């Protein structure tokens, strides 16, 4: 491997060491030492970001597009090392890391193209009406402007696409906002090498170095200091409901509250309608198992719950799912803590009265096989906890007595990232009743598909009502993600020479 680790933080173009170190916990390969982050390092990084905003916030779209392209090139140039380090740290297969890198550089390039088009600026103009009675109208121009320094939390389950140079960072940089990343302790080496790629791009493009900093974690104080720093204007986060909610509350309690764009938990329910079950119940079961167990079930869009109507087809579906799940080999989870949370979540579900264990996992330290549980619509509706996300390949089949109970289960759901329907000719009437209910619950609705695999595109929504996300008006995937880091400004009668270049 060509990459030589520093074990340090990247603060505005300088590699800075802390006083003490923590050890990485790779699934495979050498354990390395990294400096603990601290509130003082966060402060240094954020101050540099604020200074960088004075130029970067007014850079041209072409300059920022070239910078995003340079980051993508520098990441690809380190591709093999990134794969080796990332796969070793997370236990995710190398092919997954290669694919995720493709997505990461694809996102950077998509945002480069997106800002060059300029639509995202949402420019509006109400021309002056000097003769209007009883009062004249001033000249009004509107445009979206970047908000200032943004804090980003690296996500454990996407070491590349939702971490150091992931979607939050790419969309903030595209908007014109400097970024301070809090690295996730599960993959500090991956964070470091990607930060080195961004640093190289900064130097190549002559961008202010404060535009990007990485403060490694290992210490609770880093995340708290980041969300509470007065110069930080918004946060991008993917992680647990508990952690996300704690950080969201800190953002709300600040003297100047800031938006916290948290993408938290979701069980991504699937509703299997009678004709679809009759026509292809077993095929759906196999597809579900593939989606549920992909990446050891560590996807935000993992479909943890399936709702079916009782009867022969439901029994055959359960059997087919059990068979397919028992053939799934053990997979390495991202951290021992996540594996432990998976086991605890399963134990909690198993203890609920009326829940039947169909398949038990042989999960040990960091390896997991799937769990499958079954329950009735009645039990589901009576036990709110059954709707909570268990991160990992854990599936639950909810058997309802009839279509009314299926609708009741849909109505009882909390906010979700996705909700899926499987339907065939003859299922339309039920589909038409479900859709308006599910539309109020989820950010993305699917028919005859499985939710894992989020397309990075213009029309994607990766968000949803709480607790799927803390901000239902936003998405963390797709070009619309840039809106999180923009703010509309109205320019009333401002002389043209003083207007931002994009509005002249
Ligand atoms: P996490 O515990 O929520 O941590 C994510 C980040 O938030 C880490 O950087 C963590 O810092 C920080 N953090 C959490 N609580 C904090 C607090 N009270 N104050 C300050 N910082 C805080 O998520 P995780 O480590 O990725 O995985 C744990 C669980 O999260 C999983 O078992 C799973 O349930 C869930 N998860 C869900 C998704 C999803 O997409 N829905 C994705 C990933 C994980 P520290 O390093 O200091 O802890």
Instruction: Report which of 441, 437, 439, 438 is spatially closest to residue 466, judged by C-alpha positions.
Output: 441
For residue 182, give the ligand 1 atom closest to its CA.
9
Question: Which backbone phi and psi does 20 adopt, to 5 degrees?
Answer: -125, 165
Is residue 47 over pLDDT 90?
A: yes
**pLDDT the model gives residue 353:** 92
Atom 38 in ligand 1: residue holding the nearest Cα: 239
Distance from the CA of 47 to the center of ligand 1, in angstroms? 25
Residue spans of alpha helices (H) in 78-215: 79-90, 94-117, 167-175, 188-205
CA 52–ligand 1 middle distance (angstroms):
29
Lining ligand 1 with CB less than 6 A are 153, 155-157, 182, 184-185, 217, 220, 223-224, 238-240, 243-244, 246-247, 263-265, 300, 338, 341, 391
Residue of the CA atom closest to atom 8 of ligand 1: 184
pLDDT band, very low/low/confident/very high, at 365 (cuts 50, 70, 90) = confident
Residue nearest to atom 43 of ligand 1 (CA): 239
Looking at the DSSP bridge assignments, the partners of residue 431 are none
pTM of the model: 0.96
* pLDDT tens sequence across 121-145: 999 999 999 999 999 999 999 999 9
Give the list of residues 6+ apart from residue 334 with CB closer than 8 angstroms, or none.
90, 91, 92, 156, 157, 186, 296, 298
Q: Ligand 1, closest atom to CA 243?
A: 15
Rg (CA), the chain: 24
Residue 205 pLDDT grade (very low, low, confident, very high; cuts 50, 70, 90): very high
- Residue 211, SS3 per DSSP: helix
For residues 229 and 151, the answer to whether their CB atoms sit within 8 Å is: yes
Q: Say what the pLDDT of residue 265 is.
A: 84
With the most atoms of ligand 1 within 8 angstroms of its CB, the residue from 89, 156, 238 to mutate is 156
443 Cα: distance to centroid of ligand 1 (angstroms): 22
Q: What is the pLDDT of residue 407?
A: 98
pLDDT at 136: 98
Which range among 110-119, 177-186, 213-222 shows the weakest confidence by mean pLDDT?
213-222
pLDDT value of residue 167? 98
What pLDDT shows up at residue 18? 84
Say yes or no to pLDDT of 472 above 80.
yes
Contact assessment for residue 157 and residue 342, using Cβ atoms and an 8 Å cutoff: no
What pLDDT is attached to residue 56? 98
Q: Whose CA is nearest to atom 42 of ligand 1?
A: 239
E strand or H helix that includes residue 480: none
Which of 186, 239, 335 best tests ligand 1's pocket when mutated (most atoms within 8 Å of CB)?
Answer: 239
pLDDT of residue 64: 98
The residue whose C-alpha atom lies closest to atom 32 belonging to ligand 1 is 338
Q: Which whole number is the average pLDDT over 469-490?
A: 97
Q: Where residue 27 falls among pLDDT bands split at 50, 70, 90?
A: very high
Ligand 1 nearest atom to the CA of residue 154, by list position: 9
pLDDT score, position 169: 98
Asked whether the predicted pLDDT for residue 449 surpasses 90, the reply is: yes
Residue with tokens 């038990």: 360
Which is the closest atom of ligand 1 to the Cα of 342?
Answer: 32
Helix (H/G/I), strand (E/B), else coil: 230: coil
Ligand 1 atom at minimal distance to the Cα of residue 244: 3
Mean pLDDT, residues 207-227 = 96
Model confidence pLDDT, tens digit, residues 162-200: 999 999 999 999 999 999 999 999 999 999 999 999 999
pLDDT of residue 363 exceeding 80, the answer is no
265 CA closest ligand 1 atom index: 41
CA angle, 111 then 467 then 464, to 5°:
45
Q: Which atom of ligand 1 is nearest to the CA of 264?
A: 41
Q: What is the CA(333)–ligand 1 centre distance, in A?
A: 15
Residue (of 176, 207, 208, 182) closest to 195 by Cα position: 182
pLDDT tens, position by position, 417-440: 999 999 999 999 999 999 999 999
pLDDT of 219: 85
Look at ligand 1, atom 13, and give the residue with the nearest C-alpha.
Answer: 243
The Cα–Cα gap between 372 and 398 comes to 11
> What is the pLDDT, as a whole number, of residue 181?
98
User: For ligand 1, atom 21, which residue shows the shortest CA distance?
Assistant: 223
Secondary structure class of 257 (helix, strand, coil): coil
Q: What share of the chain is helix, strand, coil (3-state, %, to 5)?
A: 45, 20, 35
The domains found in the chain, sorted by start residue, are 9-19+33-125+146-264+469-486 (3.40.605.10), 270-447 (3.40.309.10)
> pLDDT at position 204, please?
98
C-alpha of residue 184 to centroid of ligand 1, in Å: 9
Q: CA–CA separation, 120 vs 386, rounded Å?
A: 40
The protein residue whose alpha carbon is closest to atom 30 in ligand 1 is 240
Strands of 408-485 (E only): list them.
416-422, 442-447
Q: Whose CA is nearest to atom 29 of ligand 1?
A: 240
Q: Cα of 242 to ligand 1 centre, how many Å?
A: 8
- Cα of 414 vs centre of ligand 1, distance in Å, is 20
How much distance in Å is there from the Cα of 229 to the middle of ligand 1?
19
Each residue's pLDDT tens digit, 141-168: 999 999 999 999 999 999 999 999 999 9
Q: What is the Cα–Cα distance from 258 to 484, expressed in whole angstroms?
A: 11
Q: Supply the residues annotated as catalytic.
A: 263, 300
Question: Quick one: which of 308, 235, 310 has its CA closest to 276?
Answer: 308
Q: 374 falls in which pLDDT band (50, 70, 90)? A: very high
What DSSP assignment string belongs to 384-426?
GGGGS--SSSEEEEEEESSHHHHHHHHHH---EEEEEEE--TT
pLDDT at 218 over 90: no
Can you tell me which atom of ligand 1 is nearest the CA of 338?
32
- For the cut 80, the answer to whether the pLDDT of residue 273 exceeds it is yes
Going by alpha carbons, the residue nearest to atom 15 of ligand 1 is: 243
User: What is the pLDDT averaged over residues 20-37?
Assistant: 96
| pLDDT over 90 (residue 19) | no
Averaged pLDDT of the chain: 97
- The b-or-e profile of 309-341 (16+ CB within 10 A means b, else e) is beeebbeebbebbbebbeebeebbbbbeebbeb
pLDDT for the residue numbered 166: 98
Q: How far is the CA of 96 from the centre of ligand 1 (A)?
A: 21
Distances (CA, A) of 60 to 65, 115, 118, 422, 489: 9, 10, 11, 46, 17
How far, in Å, from the CA of 329 to the mean position of ligand 1?
26
Q: Give the ranges where 327-385 is alpha helix by DSSP (H).
A: 336-350, 377-382
With cut-offs at 50, 70 and 90, classify the pLDDT of residue 249.
very high
| φ, ψ for residue 236, nearest 5 deg | -110, 130
| Vertex 262 angle, CA 257 and 265, to 5° | 140
């Amino acid at each position: 491997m060509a990459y030589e680790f520093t074990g340090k933080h990247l603060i505005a173009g300088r590699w800075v060491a802390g006083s003490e170190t923590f050890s990485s916990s790779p699934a495979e390969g050498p354990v390395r030492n990294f400096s603990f982050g601290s509130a003082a390092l966060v402060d240094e990084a954020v101050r540099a970001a604020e200074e960088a905003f004075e130029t970067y916030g007014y850079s041209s779209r072409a300059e920022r597009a070239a910078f995003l392209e340079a980051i993508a090139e520098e990441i690809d140039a380190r591709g093999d090392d990134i794969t080796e380090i990332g796969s070793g740290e997370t236990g995710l297969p190398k092919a997954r890391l290669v694919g995720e890198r493709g997505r990461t550089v694809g996102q950077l390039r998509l945002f480069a193209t997106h800002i060059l088009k300029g639509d995202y600026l949402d420019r509006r103009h109400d021309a002056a009406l000097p003769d209007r009675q009883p009062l004249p109208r001033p000249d009004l121009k509107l445009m979206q402007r970047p908000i200032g320094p943004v804090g980003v939390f690296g996500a454990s389950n996407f070491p590349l696409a939702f971490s150091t140079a992931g979607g939050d960072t790419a969309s903030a940089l595209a908007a014109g906002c400097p970024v301070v990343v809090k690295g996730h302790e599960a993959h500090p080496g991956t964070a470091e090498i990607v930060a080195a790629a961004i640093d190289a791009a900064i130097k190549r493009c002559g961008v202010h170095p404060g535009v990007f900093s990485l403060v490694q974690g290992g210490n609770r104080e880093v995340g708290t200091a980041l969300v509470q720093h007065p110069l930080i204007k918004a946060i991008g986060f993917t992680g647990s409901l508990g952690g996300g909610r704690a950080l969201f509350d800190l953002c709300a309690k600040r003297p100047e509250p800031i938006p916290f764009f948290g993408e938290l938990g979701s069980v991504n329910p699937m509703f299997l309608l009678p004709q679809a079950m009759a026509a292809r119940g077993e095929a759906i079961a196999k597809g579900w198992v593939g989606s549920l167990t992909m990446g050891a079930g560590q996807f935000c869009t993992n479909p943890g719950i399936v709702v079916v109507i009782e009867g022969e087809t439901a029994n055959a579906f359960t059997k087919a799912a059990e068979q397919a799940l028992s053939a799934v080999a053990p997979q390495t989870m991202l951290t021992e803590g996540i594996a432990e949370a998976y086991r605890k979540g399963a134990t909690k579900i198993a203890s609920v009265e009326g829940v039947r264990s169909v398949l038990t996992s042989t999960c040990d330290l960091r390896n997991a096989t799937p769990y499958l549980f079954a329950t009735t619509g009645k039990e589901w509706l009576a036990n709110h906890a059954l709707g909570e996300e268990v991160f990992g390949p854990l599936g639950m089949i909810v058997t309802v007595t009839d279509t009314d109970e299926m609708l009741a289960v849909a109505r009882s759901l909390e906010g979700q990232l996705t909700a899926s329907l499987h339907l065939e000719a003859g299922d339309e009437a039920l589909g038409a009743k479900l859709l308006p209910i599910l539309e109020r619950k989820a950010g993305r609705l699917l028919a005859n598909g499985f939710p894992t695999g989020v397309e990075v595109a213009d029309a994607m929504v990766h968000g949803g009502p709480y607790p799927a996300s803390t901000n239902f008006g936003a998405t963390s995937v797709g070009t619309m993600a840039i809106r999180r880091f923009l703010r509309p400004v109205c320019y009333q009668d401002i002389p043209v020479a003083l207007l931002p270049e994009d509005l002249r």
